[in-house]
Amino acid sequence: MKLGIIGTGRIGGGLARQLAGAGHELKLSFSRDPGKLEELARELGAGASAGTPAEAVDFGEVIVISVPWGVLPQALEQAGSLAGKIVIDTTNQFGAPPLPPEGETAAHFNAARMPGARYTKCFNTLTSAFQAEAAGRQGEERVVQWLCGDDAKAKEIVAGLVEDAGFVPVDLGGTAKCSVMEAPRRDGAVYGEEYRASDARAAVEAVRAGRTIPPTPRYRSAG
């Protein structure tokens, strides 16, 4: 697929490497030093190029937005309209306002900041170092990436990209009720925790039923 990446730091850059490795074409964007985008594009090979956020949006069927919360308004302004595009938002609400009001998820809040986008949120619950280490694990040790969104078809496509990146996609449901995959790390949430497919189903069932999720699973370290 053609993917536009807005923000190629720890998370966006890691994802770019994983998805380029799976054969996707990428347009990399949004840096204070455009030379860094060119350098990453060279590292990723013929399918990758650098551009502006607006060029990344124009290029991509799917747009990954992976920037610090405080610069999201700036990134969205440079991106222009996202209408009709599948968006993967990796952001967490650490930083300057505007922030979601009490009781509203960051995913629901951000979806409203991207009018017409086929919004999803994913790749936000695990540290960049852990994601880099865990991508591509095999069998029962494969790690879950939670996703949410209000467009079922968009989530199917994003689930395919999660697999391509080397993880197991698990759909938690719509943006309004995905708070368990959002910061901060706390009891009763999947945010910040490693999950594997075998333990994910019970968490999804609990979220859908409005119940507290079962205790966080603990795994012996892989490898």
Q: Which is nearer to ligand NAP, 90 or 173 (CB)?
A: 90
What φ, ψ does residue 65 adopt, rounded to 5°? -110, 115
Cα distance between residue 148 and residue 89, in whole Å = 10
Residue pair 14/131 in contact (Cβ under 8 Å)? The answer is: yes
Q: How far is the CB of 162 from ligand NAP (least distance, A)?
A: 14
Residue pair 35/12 in contact (Cβ under 8 Å)? The answer is: no
Angle between helices 152-164 and 10-21 in degrees, nearest 10: 80
Q: How far is the CB of 211 from ligand NAP (least distance, A)?
A: 26
Q: Apex CA 54: angle with CA 50 and CA 59, to 5°?
A: 65
Q: Which is nearer to ligand NAP, 122 or 213 (CB)?
A: 122
Joined together, the tokens standing for residue 104 give 């509203």
Q: How far is the CB of 122 from ligand NAP (least distance, A)?
A: 10
Q: How far is the CB of 101 from ligand NAP (least distance, A)?
A: 19
Q: How far is the CB of 76 from ligand NAP (least distance, A)?
A: 12
Residues lying near ligand NAP in the complex (CB under 6 A) are found at: 7-12, 30-33, 36, 66-69, 71, 90-92, 94, 124, 127-128
Q: Which is nearer to ligand NAP, 81 or 127 (CB)?
A: 127
Residue pair 128/10 in contact (Cβ under 8 Å)? The answer is: yes
Q: Which is nearer to ligand NAP, 42 or 198 (CB)?
A: 42
Q: Which is nearer to ligand NAP, 40 or 159 (CB)?
A: 40
